[in-house]
Amino acid sequence: MYHFFIAKKLYLRTIIPKNIQAMIKRLILCAVACATMFTATADEGMWLPSLIKERVKEMRKKGFKLKAQDVYSDTKPSLKDAVMQFGGGCTGEFISPEGLLLTNHHCGYASIQKLSSVEHDYLTDGYWAKSRSEELHVPGLTISLLERMEDVTDRIAAGESKADIIAKASEGKGRRASIESMYYGNQFYLFVYRVYSDIRLVGAPPSSIGKFGGDTDNWIWPRHTGDFSMFRVYADANNEPAEYSDENVPYRPKRFFPISTKGVNEGDFTMIYGFPGNTQEYVTADAVDYVVNISNPMKIALRTIRLDIISEAQSKDVATRIAYAAKHANIANAWKKWQGESLGIERLGTVEKKRAYESEFALWAAGKPQYAHLLDSMHAAYEKAIPGYFARELFNETISGIEALNFAFWLNTQQTRGTKLTADIQVKGRNRYLNDYRVEIDKAIAKRMIAEFITRMPAANVPTQLTAAINEKGSVEQFVEELYNNTLLINKYPLTTEEITADPMVQLAAWLTPLAKSNGAYAYRNLSNVPSIEKWYKEYMQALREWDKERAFYPDANFTLRVSYGTVTGYENVDGEYHTHLTTLDGIMAKDNPEIYDYNIPQVLRDIYKNKDYGKWSIEKYGKSTIPVCFLASNHTSGGNSGSPVINGKGELIGLNFDRTWRSTMSDIEFDPTICRNISVDIRFVLFVLDRIGGAGYLLDEMDIK
Ligand code: ARG
Ligand code: GLU
């Protein structure tokens, strides 16, 4: 691959004028870097399952034993029938012929929380249904099974409307269809799903296992989290989607995963089948520069302020710690990821490499009228769109971080729409926005976030009423102090229409609403998806495919089903320090500390460890028996891949994906095969916890364990 690259450049040198030869020389220097970066290496890529036949030869070289139609088929049962989108943004998979599914604990977290009460705290204690009748229906939870996908690019080009295609494809009970763009509008795929809505919680470990390590270990290796939970899909007597009912029976999937307990070794083939959400591998240097130099620094700084305020309040009071645990985890997850991403991109020199790649592209495009202008057009489009996109991101990280103000936005919107704000409806809003609420935390955040909003936002975007009010009170501090003293939203319920209209928090929301609305123009997945920029990417992608023939192209993640493959493998974390691929119970015991919330394991696990009471799940390490916990592999994954099945060469389940290492989070922009690793729970740990801690060994009977 790499010699082709050089050869291409030597050829160019003979036909181009001397004055740009120096530049070319510089480019040759970067050829190695560029070639490795821009050619999809073995483990980079999130492939469309319907096109997997194009990859199977390479997969087989790595140890894959099945055929393309075993992975995906429109007509015959295939592995895709065992995979589902779980809730809005996770993946899950069937592990029994009776609709039993496995996903992450953090994916089931909201459901488990919803079913919990002070008397039945399933988050803390875990839960295992002892029979089908104890499986707990989760209102609102759905799963989507992909029936088929189809390239509809030609149909759309021939004039069929997307809406018609979707309408036709969604006929039938519980059927949902969508058309998703690939390669920035160059291709369109239709996805047809079956949506099941009677989903019941079967079991989950206590958070001290399912969330072991908490935010401290999040994105980190070595890792020891038993991040799994189990649910069951129910259907009507015909196996069709149906609303929750006592009459429903367990869904019978077309395929489910057999489970391998043979374990994982360095070098073993792994495949991940799931729904990754968002990558931007083809964007230009301008877009990456925006991420690392403008967007990430702003978001990280603002979240640091919020997290510090929350953490300090949490450290002073146990009830507050619990109340803000999920909020803190949510804010911290992306905060930590962005830091790893920025460091990774700086380390790889992605911006500089992309600039070099683009200079080279420009030389090629120079003689081609349809492409010659592209980079300039894109550059200009970025310059124009960045302020608006930044304003939206800044708004999200400042104003949207204020809980009472979010409630006020909601009330204001309801009122403008003419919704009658009955006591019942008000309760819904309160539950959503003022849940587990501490006014002192919110007020402290509001003071800092409004101040940051004013300083960082171009003055023209700051509502004049807000500037005037702050000037009148003398400071942001004082303005916010009075705002919280005078608002009725927090303590009074129900509120009258007049009280809502006159409330200072609602007024602030009203002042900010025009800005929030104009932000709507920038509400796209990424900066590069803003239409004024994205339109150029359509041509840019065509040009890249013509020009960079050695590059293996795969569409960016967009929450559609993908296959990635790689191997079980450790990596060199820092010079001379290798991180091995597998962690064990010994590592959990080394971290165990009743004083530290994130590391306080259940007593039963301590007892099991003391008595080496491992049942059939133990493995040997250095001549001693232990339990495998998590492993690393080189699969290209992203947010949304949580809960994805990790499959061996024979199509058996060996683990459950739940994270990446911190240093590999830049793989959403550039994948580095030497360092990018996904983190999975070893399926043997799942079975051990279920059996020895959950006492739910009877569930093993319905699985196919190899
Ligand atoms: N980092 C993983 C993901 O992006 C896990 C997040 C949940 N865990 C946590 N400690 N916040 O979703
Ligand atoms: N934890 C992520 C999720 O919920 C997966 C980790 C990642 O971003 O790779 O989807």
| pLDDT band with cut points at 50, 70 and 90 for residue 95 | very high
pLDDT confidence band for 180 (50 / 70 / 90):
very high
The two tokens of residue 475 are: 């400071």
Residue 13 has pLDDT above 50, yes or no: no
Is residue 659 in contact with ligand 1, taking CB distance under 6 Å? yes
Number of the ligand 2 atom closest to the C-alpha atom of 276: 10
Name the closest-CA residue to atom 8, ligand 2. Answer: 639
CA angle 519, 525, 528 (to 5 degrees): 90
Residue carrying the six token digits 């603002």: 302
Please say if the pLDDT value at position 33 is more than 60: no
What percentage of the chain reaches a pLDDT higher than 70? 94
The answer to which of 151-160, 272-281, 324-333, 493-502 has the lowest mean pLDDT is 324-333
**Structure token digits, residue 522:** 């920038």
Q: Is the pLDDT of residue 307 over 80?
A: yes
Name the active-site residue from 70, 81, 198, 227.
227
329 lines ligand 1 (CB under 6 A): yes
In Å, how far are 605, 616, 686 from 585, measured between CA atoms? 9, 15, 12
pLDDT(689) > 50: yes
CA 561 / ligand 2 centre spacing (Å): 15
Task: Give the pLDDT band (50/70/90) at residue 593.
Answer: very high
In sequence order, the 6+-apart residues with CB closer than 8 A to the CB of 192 are 146, 147, 148, 149, 150, 169, 170, 175, 176, 177
Ligand 1 pocket mutation, candidates 86, 106, 112, 225, criterion most atoms within 8 A of CB: 106
Q: Look at residue 322 in the predicted model and tell me its pLDDT.
A: 83
Query: Which of 637, 658, 679, 680 for mutating ligand 1's site (highest number of atoms within 8 Å of CB)?
Result: 658
Catalytic annotation on 117? no
**Among 658, 663, 665, 681, residue to substitute to test ligand 2 (most atoms within 8 Å of Cβ):** 658
Contact between 305 and 448 (Cβ < 8 Å): yes
Q: Which pLDDT value is given to residue 637?
A: 98
Query: Is residue 629's pLDDT more than 60?
Result: yes
Split at pLDDT 50, 70, 90, the class of 119 is: confident
Q: How many helices (H) and strands (E) does the chain have?
A: 29, 22
Task: Give the residues surrounding ligand 2 with Cβ less than 6 Å away.
Answer: 637-642, 658-660
pLDDT computed for residue 27 by the predictor: 47
How far away, in angstroms, is 483 Cα from ligand 1 center? 34
Q: How confident is the model at residue 399, as a pLDDT? A: 98
The predicted structure's pLDDT at residue 408: 98
Partners of 92 in the β-ladder: 84
Residue 215 appears among annotated catalytic residues: no
- Residue 318: pLDDT band (50, 70, 90) is confident
State the pTM of this model: 0.92
The alpha carbon of residue 205 and the mean position of all alpha carbons in its chain are separated, in whole angstroms, by 22
The answer, yes or no, to whether the previous bond of 387 is cis (omega within 30 of 0) is no
For position 706, what pLDDT does the model report? Answer: 95
pLDDT digits 0-9 by tens, 633-671: 999 999 999 999 999 999 999 999 999 999 999 999 999
Per-residue pLDDT of 406-439, as tens digits, reads 999 999 999 999 999 999 999 999 999 999 999 9
Please say whether the beta carbons of 36 and 3 come within 8 A.
Answer: no
Q: Where are the beta strands (DSSP E) in 5-151?
A: 83-86, 90-94, 100-103, 127-128, 136-137, 143-151
- 520 exposure class (CB count in 10 Å sphere: 0-12, 13-18, 19+): exposed
What average pLDDT does range 59-70 have in this prediction? 97
- Average model confidence (pLDDT) across the chain: 93
Residues in the chain: 706
Q: Would you state the torsion angle of the CA atoms of residues 674, 677, 682, 685, taken in this order, to the nearest 10 degrees?
A: 120
Among 190-204, 320-334, 433-447, 529-543, the minimum mean pLDDT is found in: 320-334
CA dihedral 432, 436, 438, 439 (to 10 degrees): 20
pLDDT of residue 530: 96
Measuring CA to CA, which residue among 680, 679, 660, 678 is closest to residue 341?
Answer: 660
The confidence score (pLDDT) of residue 42 equals: 57
Task: State yes or no: pLDDT of 118 exceeds 90.
Answer: no
Is 333 a pocket residue for ligand 1 (Cβ < 6 Å)? yes
CB of 278 within 6 A of ligand 1: the answer is no
pLDDT digits (tens, 9 = 90+) for 564-591: 999 999 999 999 999 999 999 999 999 9
Per-residue DSSP letter, 373? T
Name the closest ligand to CA 639.
Answer: 2
With 80 as the cut, is the pLDDT of residue 8 above it? no
Q: Is the pLDDT of residue 34 over 50?
A: no
Q: Are 47 and 564 in contact (CB under 8 A)?
A: yes
For the ranges 32-41, 81-90, 324-333, 692-701, the lowest mean pLDDT is seen at 32-41
**Catalytic: 106?**
yes
DSSP annotation of 420: -
Ligand 1 centroid distance, CA of 288 (Å): 24
Structure tokens at 233: 């899909």
The pLDDT tens digits of the residues spanning 226-274 come to: 999 999 999 999 999 999 999 999 999 999 999 999 999 999 999 999 9
Spatial CB neighbours of 421, under 8 Å, sequence gap ≥ 6: 411, 414, 415, 494, 495, 497, 500
pLDDT band at 4 (very low <50, low <70, confident <90, very high): very low
Write down the catalytic residue from 642, 644, 667, 680.
642
690 band by pLDDT with thresholds 50, 70 and 90: very high
- Which pLDDT belongs to residue 116? 87
Query: What is the 337 CA–ligand 1 centroid distance (Å)?
Result: 9
Q: What's the confidence (pLDDT) of residue 58?
A: 94
| Token pair of 239 as six digits | 């196996």
- Tell the burial category of 58 from Cβ atoms under 10 Å away from its Cβ (0-12, 13-18, 19+): middle
Query: Distance of CA 95 to CAs 84, 106, 469, 654, 703, Å?
Result: 12, 19, 59, 11, 6
Give residue 585's pLDDT.
98
Q: Does 217 contact ligand 1 (Cβ within 6 A)? A: no
Angle at 195 between CA 190 and CA 201, to 5 degrees: 140
